[in-house]
């Protein structure tokens, strides 16, 4: 049956709504007003509501229900769409956790002990709803856009509600404008920190950037604004009376109907008792390790020691699995950012129809990147190989893309050597601001850049520690490029210049820019590098074929050479054919 109608997520309570009063230590009004509530007292009602309404979360009290744990899961499995609905068990018997895990399979589940703090219950509910949403995104990529929109709207509505009830919560609530200037704080702020908001801002200032105890608050705010999502962090703090406490902060953006950030809301919760409990657990673990030395001497305690080891391993496995999920999610998001910043291959082919881009990152994100720009009759194309690969290389690629766009936007008449000169100086300045000689980092990039003017029938090429291969009317030309990289050790000689190479376009000219990833790949029968000579010979043999056919051959040859071995490095090959 339906207990109450309201907008937002829906909860199915088993056996009935009265369970909320029995499992919490505070008022349940904040739960019943926030969510649409359904209740079910037996397996038949559970199956009917799940089939018809498909609630967002199921909360069950096995202590006061006639339905056992396995029966609950069996009742909701009949509906295929319910596979992502999480289940929260509220019980005084926490030893049921193993039974719950075994019955749940891959379904998201959680357990909370009685009596539960109402704030903790709300956090668990929101947490499980968030996990359910993330799981649904992974399972159905086609619905991702709609889910994100609903998620943002829910977050926006939630912040507006939190603003109304902020003065009643025990947590500290601070509201700032879109520039992170503090505008308001509730009475909970004074109860938590001892300061009134006027006292606090007089001492710390009105900016969150200066007032926060978090040394990384600038990055946290930037992340919150750029992603338009809540960001959580935990920091030690000090009250007005000098008491040291631990505070968990959730920083949430308030987004208007035009998708602009209107406010930032920080909710601070005192988690000192949780931290103390963690320290107690840590101390307890140390005591167990000490006792283990005595247990080892007693053969009759061997079975108990083995059991403890298995439990510890299971806990570590769960933690490792969760960490792996977090790392994978972060890498996938970094990949989406990198793809969004890199130029469109489709648009590149509009400027240069007879072309291809072979781009194969070693990991999820890449340190190799391609770049192009079109100004008047000049088409600029570049292949860049940044220091390292993965996350470090990806960050360098974002810096490189931004700087190249800035340089060419300001002076698009530059020849390639002039662009590389400016690029080198900007990379040095960007990566080593204010550093003395001892602390300078020599991170850099190998780069090759060409400017093609089809109307004039000419190509200018400059290269920083990279080779460029050109086949002009059937004649192969190999340009080895200059010795120095962009940035790197070259930072000691920032005024050294790069050399331009001029090629007159004949009837048909093919240009190939590439990183070292292709020809450095280990493979073949003897597990050796593919080598530059073999790579150039391959390009020379296929240069007169259609560019898409060349792409397929290069891709297939790379897979054939690599076999089942791991990819050695990021791979980037750009091919462009110009005919006049």
Q: Which CATH number fits domain 2-139: 3.40.50.2300, 1.20.910.10, 3.40.50.2020, 3.40.120.10?
A: 3.40.50.2300
Residues 6+ apart with CB under 8 A from 69: 62, 89, 96, 99, 100, 103
As given in the structure block, the two tokens for residue 480 are 């080895």
133 beta partners: none
Q: Decide whether 2-139 matches 162-273 in CATH topology.
A: no
Task: Report domain 162-273's class.
Answer: alpha beta
Evaluate the CA torsion angle 126, 127, 130, 136 in order and state its sign.
Answer: negative
What's the CA gap between 339 and 170, in Å, rounded?
A: 43
What's the CA gap between 235 and 208, in Å, rounded?
A: 14
**CA nearest neighbour of 574 among 514, 524, 532:** 514
Q: What is the pLDDT of residues 388-419, one digit of tens each?
A: 666 777 788 888 889 999 999 888 778 999 99
Residues 6+ apart with CB under 8 A from 265: 159, 162, 163, 173, 174, 175, 176, 251, 252, 253, 254
* Boundaries of every domain in the chain: 2-139, 162-273, 274-333, 342-579
Which fold is adopted by the domain 342-579? Answer: Phosphatase 2c; domain 1 (3.60.40)
Q: Give the C-alpha distances (Å, rounded to integers) separating 495 from 74, 413, 422, 424.
A: 73, 20, 10, 9
Evaluate the CA torsion angle 452, 453, 457, 459 in order and state its sign.
Answer: negative
Residue-by-residue pLDDT tens, the chain, 580 positions:
444 444 578 888 887 767 666 655 555 677 777 888 888 888 888 888 888 888 888 888 887 767 777 877 777 776 665 667 888 888 888 888 888 888 777 777 888 887 777 787 788 888 888 877 777 776 665 565 556 667 656 655 655 565 555 556 778 999 999 898 999 999 889 999 999 999 999 998 999 988 888 899 999 999 998 998 999 999 899 999 999 999 999 999 998 888 898 899 999 999 998 888 888 888 888 888 888 777 777 767 667 767 777 777 777 777 777 776 766 666 566 567 666 667 778 888 888 999 999 999 988 778 889 999 999 899 999 999 987 666 777 788 888 889 999 999 888 778 999 999 999 988 888 877 555 555 555 568 999 999 999 999 999 999 999 999 999 988 999 999 888 888 876 556 656 679 999 999 988 899 999 999 999 999 999 999 999 999 999 999 999 999 999 999 999 999 999 999 999 999 999 999 998 8
């Amino acid at each position: 049956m339906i207990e109450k109608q309201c907008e937002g997520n829906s909860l199915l309570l088993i056996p009935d709504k009265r369970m909320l009063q029995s499992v919490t230590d505070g008022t349940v009004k904040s739960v019943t007003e926030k969510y649409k509530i359904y209740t079910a007292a037996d397996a038949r009602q559970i199956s009917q509501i799940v089939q018809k309404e498909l609630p967002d979360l199921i909360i069950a009290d096995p202590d006061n229900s006639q339905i056992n744990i396995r029966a609950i899961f069996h009742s909701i499995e009949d509906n295929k769409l319910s596979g992502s609905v999480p289940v929260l068990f509220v019980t005084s018997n926490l030893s049921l956790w193993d039974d719950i895990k075994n019955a749940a399979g891959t379904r998201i589940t959680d357990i909370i002990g009685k009596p539960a703090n109402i704030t903790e219950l709300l956090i668990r509910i929101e947490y499980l709803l968030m996990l359910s949403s993330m799981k649904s995104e992974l399972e159905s990529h086609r619905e991702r856009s709609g889910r994100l929109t609903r998620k943002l709207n829910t977050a926006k509505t939630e912040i507006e509600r939190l603003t109304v009830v902020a003065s009643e919560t025990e947590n500290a609530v601070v509201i700032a404008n879109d520039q992170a200037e503090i505008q308001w704080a509730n009475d909970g702020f004074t109860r938590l920190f001892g300061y009134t908001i006027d006292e606090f801002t007089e001492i710390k200032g009105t900016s969150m950037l200066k007032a926060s105890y978090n040394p990384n608050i600038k990055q946290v705010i930037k992340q919150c604004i750029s992603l338009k999502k809540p960001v959580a962090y935990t920091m030690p703090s000090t009250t007005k009376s000098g008491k040291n406490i631990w505070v968990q902060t959730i920083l949430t953006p308030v987004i208007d109907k035009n998708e602009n950030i209107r406010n930032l809301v920080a909710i601070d919760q005192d988690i000192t008792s949780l931290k103390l409990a963690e320290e107690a657990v840590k101390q307890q673990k140390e005591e167990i390790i000490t006792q283990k030395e005595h247990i080892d001497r007693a053969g009759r305690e061997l079975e108990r020691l083995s059991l403890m080891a298995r439990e510890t391993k299971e806990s570590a496995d769960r933690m490792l699995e969760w960490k792996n999920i977090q790392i994978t999610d972060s890498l996938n998001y970094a990949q989406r950012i990198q793809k969004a910043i890199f130029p469109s291959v489709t648009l590149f082919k509009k400027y240069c129809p007879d072309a291809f881009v072979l781009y194969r990152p070693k990991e999820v994100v890449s340190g190799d990147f391609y770049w192009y720009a079109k100004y008047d009759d000049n088409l600029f194309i570049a292949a860049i190989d940044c220091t390292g690969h993965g996350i470090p290389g990806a960050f360098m690629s974002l810096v490189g893309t931004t700087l190249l766009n800035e340089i060419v936007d300001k002076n698009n008449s530059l020849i390639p050597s002039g662009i590389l000169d400016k690029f080198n100086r900007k990379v040095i300045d960007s990566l080593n601001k204010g550093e003395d000689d001892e602390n300078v980092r020599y991170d850099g990039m190998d780069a090759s850049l060409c400017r093609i003017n089809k109307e004039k029938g000419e190509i200018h090429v400059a290269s920083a520690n990279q080779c460029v291969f050109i086949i002009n009317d059937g004649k192969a030309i190999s340009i080895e490029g200059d010795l120095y990289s962009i940035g790197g050790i070259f930072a000691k000689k920032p005024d050294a210049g790069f050399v331009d190479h001029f090629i007159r376009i004949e009837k048909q000219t093919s240009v190939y820019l590439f990183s070292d990833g292709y020809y450095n790949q280990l493979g073949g029968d003897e597990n050796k590098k593919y080598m530059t000579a073999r790579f150039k010979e391959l390009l020379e043999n296929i240069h007169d074929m259609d560019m898409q056919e060349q792409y397929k051959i290069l891709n297939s040859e790379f897979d054939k050479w690599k076999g089942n071995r791991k990819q050695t490095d990021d791979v980037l090959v750009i091919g462009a054919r110009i005919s006049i």
